[in-house]
Amino acid sequence: MNQDKIEGLSRRSVLRYAAAGLAASPLLGQAQSGWPTKPVTLIVPFPAGGGTDAFARPLSASFSKLTGKQLIIDNRGGAGGTLGASIAAKAQPDGYTLFMGAVHHTIAPSMYPKLDYDIEKDFMPLALVATVPQVLVVNPKKVTEGDFKSSLDMLRRNPGKLNYGSAGSGTSHHLAGELFKQQTKTFITHIPYRGAGPALQDLIAGNVDMMFDGLGSSASHIKGGRIKALMVAGSKRNAAFPDVPCAAELGLPEYTVQTWYGIWAPKGTPADAAAAAVAEIRKAGATPEAKAVWANQGADFSDMTPAQFGQFVSAEVKRWTQVVKLSGAKLD
């Protein structure tokens, strides 16, 4: 644009062009927000040691290193993850409280009829950060059969003799166990815990016989020999555990349960803070340290946009409504 044209523009027009330029540049807009200017709290609705925690903590470390501000993990376990979700939904929507939920929170509406929050209406979806298959793990001293098929034969001969622990009633661990019982025509007693961490500790100690766990929380214990993996859900083996057979090759082609973890902000969080949070979460997940953790746990970091993640959550709520109905799962 030459000097004559510039002088011909009104002051209002110049300001309008400048505003349009800033709006078109997300990087400039993000820089203007300056988020984060102080520590951010990430509510994790399960105790330490579970699958959500296994991804939240390395993500927190990378976030803090990149931004210079702490991402503080606030473990709020109870009621299958719904207690922490309720607290997060009521948090001040100022951009400094985030919520890391999971597949459990799309199951909960079908299991808990009196929830005081709505995962679709009371939160802003930000990012799907990890997806892992469910894995059947046993205490090798309690379940001494060497492989899945011999263990299944034993379960069928002894209905009700063995039990399985879960992260709580209405969680993916619980539903995975009920689907397994339905598809294999077995009966195993369900013992709910306040999170996968406590359930895993009791599995390792021999106080429960087995678990249908997310691979994220079980991976290190499998590799350490403290528990044994008999099967991963789905139609293919997991790259982190290539020797563990998948459900399809063991005669369970419909057993496709997986666990996923995502991050939300309370509804009403400023758009610029939410956009900055998404950007920083993605950067944190792309660090070499985080990538190593994800690979070690057989997990994938999704490239879904916030809108796509929101659509995914809505689809999961509908899907799990049908699964719960067909499985007959109930709160214990």
Q: pTM for the complete prediction?
A: 0.81
CATH of the domain at 47: 3.40.190.150
pLDDT of residue 33: 58
- 141 and 228 in one domain? yes
Q: Are residues 46 and 118 in the same domain?
A: yes
**Domain stops at, among 250, 270, 286:** 250
Which of these three, 250, 273, 306, is where a domain ends? Answer: 250
On whether both 156 and 236 belong to a single domain, the answer is yes
Would residue 5 count as lying in a domain?
no
Give the chain's domain count: 2
**Domain co-membership, 147 together with 295:** no
Residues 269 and 121 in one domain: yes
Are 92 and 183 found together in one domain? no
CA separation for the pair 206, 150 (Å, rounded): 20
Report whether the peptide linkage leading into residue 36 is cis, meaning its omega lies within 30 degrees of zero: yes
Residues 141 and 244 in one domain: yes
* Residue 9, in any domain of the structure: no
Strands 71-75 and 40-44: parallel
Q: Residue 266, Cβ neighbours under 10 Å: how many?
A: 21
Position 2 in a domain: no
195 backbone dihedrals φ, ψ, rounded to 5°: 120, 155
CB neighbourhood size of 22 (10 A): 12
pLDDT in the model for residue 174: 92
Is there a contact between 72 and 232 (Cβ–Cβ < 8 Å)?
A: no
List C-alpha distances in Å: 223 to 91, 200, 217, 218, 219.
38, 14, 11, 9, 6
DSSP sequence for 8-45 = HS-HHHHHHHHHHHHHT-HHHHHHHH---SS-EEEEES
Q: Which residue segment(s) compose the domain that 142 sits in?
A: 133-250
Q: What pLDDT does residue 15 have? A: 32
- Which parts of the chain sit beneath pLDDT 70? 1-33, 332
The DSSP annotation for 103-144 comes to THHHHHHHH-TT-SS-TTTSEEEEEEEEEEEEEEEE-TTT--
Strands, E assignment, the chain: 40-44, 71-75, 97-102, 123-138, 163-166, 189-192, 210-214, 228-232, 258-266
In single-letter form, the type of residue at position 315 comes to A
DSSP state of 81: G
pLDDT tens digit sequence for 236-274: 999 999 999 999 999 999 998 889 999 999 999 999 999
* Interval 61-116: pLDDT, tens: 999 999 999 999 999 998 889 999 999 999 999 999 999 999 999 999 999 889 99
Contact 91, 100 (CB under 8 A): no
